[in-house]
Amino acid sequence: MTNTPRDARLVIDTLLQQSGVAHTHSPAADAEAQAWLAKPGIDDPDLVDLEHLPFVTMDNAGSRDLDQALHVAPEPETGGWQLQYALADAAYYVTPGSALWEDALERGASLYAPTRALAMLPVSLSEGLVSLNPGVARRALVIGVHVDGDGRILNSSVMRARIRSRLQLTYEGVQALADGRGSLDDARAANPASLACQTGDDSSAILASLNALQAMGAALQAAQARRGVTPFDRTESEVHVSGEPAVFDSEPRARLDSERWNEQLSLACNMQGAALLEALEVDDASLEPIFRVHDAPGSGRLKDLESTLDALAERLSLERPWRRDRKSEPSLANWFAALPDTAPRLKRAIQRQMLRAQNASNYEGAAGRHHALAADAYARFSSPMREVVGIHTHLVALDALGIQKNTSARSTELRDAVIAAAEAAKARQKALDRAILFEVIHDVFAADLDAMTKDSNAPRWHTGTLLGMDHRKLHIGLDGTALDIKLYKEDLQTSTDCDWTFDSVSATPSNDALDTFVLGDGVRVRVIAFHEDRQRFCFELRSIGNRPSLRDKRRSAKRKNKTRRISRARRARQE
């Protein structure tokens, strides 16, 4: 393996070049964007004036394309809340047949990397005129939703409006507010526009809205749990680029409660939007909406999952609640939700098996159930600046409601083109994310190999969890980085100089002196080589056990088996 220094920023640039997405927009699209800047349509008399409401945006720190703003008001008489969810009105500026539309259709969605993004729309729109930036009037499609105290959605409405966001807030800042660790000023995003906003008398109204957001978000989460949505841990890998030359690094990032509250608003609006599209189709069958469909796992996948969970319970001598009784606990989601946190590695491994059994979601022209959300129908209203399918969804709804007539809302050919573009963009982002994570792994273990070259007595061990396996490799999630690595069976056999048997839940060596590895085991791993021909690292693996009680049982069983073998050998010699 070569140790030639490389700059992570240049690596990202190369990967973006390889994605096939143009780094600049067409001259015609840029010209249209400039024309809109000269005539933005903010003073449209058909817009409902909602500038009096103290909307705010909530995003990750550093976000510049702000396509959602919120205002939540409690309703004491019902014990519920009134949500006004404002979405950037990209559909006003980007319509089929325009150069902006053709550019958006070609991209399908914005493409995001750790250091930069390739926006679907020109930056003058996506970070300027269309973005719901603080302190300026903007066009928005506002979805109003009434929610009762139990998190049930009572009714909803759609209007085109003019809003003025008061502040750009970060998830971290809002979480600090909720935890009593900060002020409204602390919660502002660190950009000049947000910092320049003067909240004045709006401060108390903003704080009241954020308090209502917290209560309503929790109620919507509770309703989601009652629907049977599996509460997966969505800890993600957050990739950083730093240093000169720049290198990759990664750390786990658990989602904040503030993110979950905001997510619930988005989900509620997308489900209500889908219900609206279904109702509109009943009256106008010529409409061509797009829905996000997520099929439930088929019987074959569920059977394989049940078999793996049963084998794991048998292998580790698990008892309830870890051993599922399908007669008393028919719901996998409810069973998983009830698992305690006493064995986090085992729980992570079980989650991985459940996620592997899931189907991928996809865009379709007919409404269908979204299994993961336990929703009868789901549509993408909430990302109109970042996804062409969001613009199309707005256009169909606006046309059907008579707000913005557009014959393209009835074009099957255009609908299918949007679906194809959206699916291609989704695959492109997934491939880019995978390639970047490979580069992160490369930098981490290349540094380890370099250190071992300088001092062979100082190997770098990483701890992790055995999360999954198949007939040819183990999948290990590393602690402290949220990275997954693969250890191939052939490499394991070479490094240990013995044969290994893999089944659905364990890897067993032919050499009894070596550890057997079981799903959910804690492991220590270190890199020992890099295969240039296969472009992959080879690792040494050691066990650090599962739950102490489970580990003790396996050690006890191994000692008993070894004692029996020794006794048999002694009897054989005596005979």
Judge whether 201 and 143 are in contact, CB under 8 Å. no
pLDDT in tens, 195-244: 777 777 789 999 999 999 999 999 999 999 999 999 998 888 889 898 88
User: Residue 453: pLDDT above 90?
Assistant: no
Residue 508 pLDDT level (bands cut at 50, 70, 90)? very high
The model's confidence at residue 546, banded by pLDDT at 50, 70 and 90, is: low
In the chain, the number of structural domains is 1
pLDDT band (50, 70, 90) for residue 481: confident
Q: How confident is the model at residue 195, as a pLDDT?
A: 76
| Rounded percentage of the chain residues whose pLDDT exceeds 90 | 75
Task: Give 574: exposed, middle or buried? Use CB within 10 Å, 0-12, 13-18, 19+.
Answer: exposed
Is residue 260 within 8 A of residue 213, CB to CB? The reply is no
pLDDT recorded at residue 547: 47
Position 383 in a domain: yes
The predicted model scores a pTM of 0.90
- Closest by CA to 473, choosing from 488, 483, 484, 485, is 488
User: Collapsing DSSP states into helix, strand and coil, what is residue 134?
Assistant: coil
**Distance in angstroms (rounded) separating the CA atoms of residues 506 and 469:** 8
Residue 26 lies in domain: 8-294+362-438
Whether 513 is covered by a domain: the verdict is no
The verdict on residue 284 lying in a domain is yes
| Cis check: omega of the bond before 340, within 30 degrees of 0 | no
Q: 456 falls in which pLDDT band (50, 70, 90)?
A: low
Whole-Å CA distances, 102 to 30, 32, 92, 383, 413: 12, 12, 15, 18, 14
Does residue 18 form part of some domain?
yes
3-state secondary structure of 499: coil
Neighbours of 358 (CB within 10 A): 17
Q: What's the rounded Cα separation, in Å, for the pair 250 and 241?
A: 9
Q: How many CB atoms lie within 10 A of CB 27?
A: 9
Q: What is the pLDDT of residue 553?
A: 46
Tokens 């500026």 label which residue?
Answer: 93
Structural domain includes residue 312: no
- Whether residue 321 lies inside any domain: the answer is no
pLDDT value at position 574? 43
Does the residue 58 lie in any domain?
Answer: yes
- 562 domain-assigned: no
pLDDT reported for residue 390: 97
Mean pLDDT rounded to a whole number for the chain: 90
Does the pLDDT value for residue 571 go beyond 60?
A: no
